[in-house]
């Protein structure tokens, strides 16, 4: 936002940025799984991210980075079932990522010659 004042913009450390990224992944992929009945990452990958988030947050129960802090206050990585899957931001991001994933899957099933032939 050039030329405009940025209010309440919190500068995050690299650790906090990674926590934010892992939280977003937990939120979005839990929404895909619990609300949209699909998944685009394996259970092992999800669990790896969940365990890393638990480790990053450590013992800091009141870790505040300004991104779904209360939802991750007692995060153990055991499940994403309790997360706010119906939150408008989360659901819109989940749908956006699902659309990209489906498009990539569709493109990967089209034989390369057929795909290129249509554009030549």
Place of tokens 């079932």: 81
Domain ranges of the chain: 14-117
Distance CA 90, CA 83 (A): 10
* Contact (CB, 8 A) for 5 and 67: no
Distance CA 61, CA 118 (A): 56
CA dihedral 29, 57, 20, 44 (to 10 degrees): -30
Q: Which of 45, 43, 53 is nearest to 19 (CA)?
A: 53
Q: What is the mean pLDDT of the chain?
A: 85
pLDDT at 109: 75
Model confidence pLDDT, tens digit, residues 8-55: 556 888 989 999 999 999 999 999 999 999 999 999 999 999 999 999
């Amino acid at each position: 936002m050039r030329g405009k004042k940025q209010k309440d913009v919190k500068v995050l450390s690299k650790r906090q940025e990674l926590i934010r990224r892992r939280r977003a992944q937990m939120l979005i992929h839990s929404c895909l799984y619990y609300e949209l009945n699909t998944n685009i990452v394996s259970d092992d990958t999800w669990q790896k991210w969940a365990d890393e988030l638990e480790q990053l947050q450590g013992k800091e129960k009141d870790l505040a980075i300004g991104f779904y802090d209360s939802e991750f206050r007692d995060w153990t990585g055991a499940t994403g079932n309790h997360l706010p899957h119906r939150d408008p931001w989360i659901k819109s991001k989940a749908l956006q990522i699902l659309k990209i994933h489906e498009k990539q899957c569709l493109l990967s099933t089209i034989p390369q010659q057929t795909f290129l032939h249509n554009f030549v």
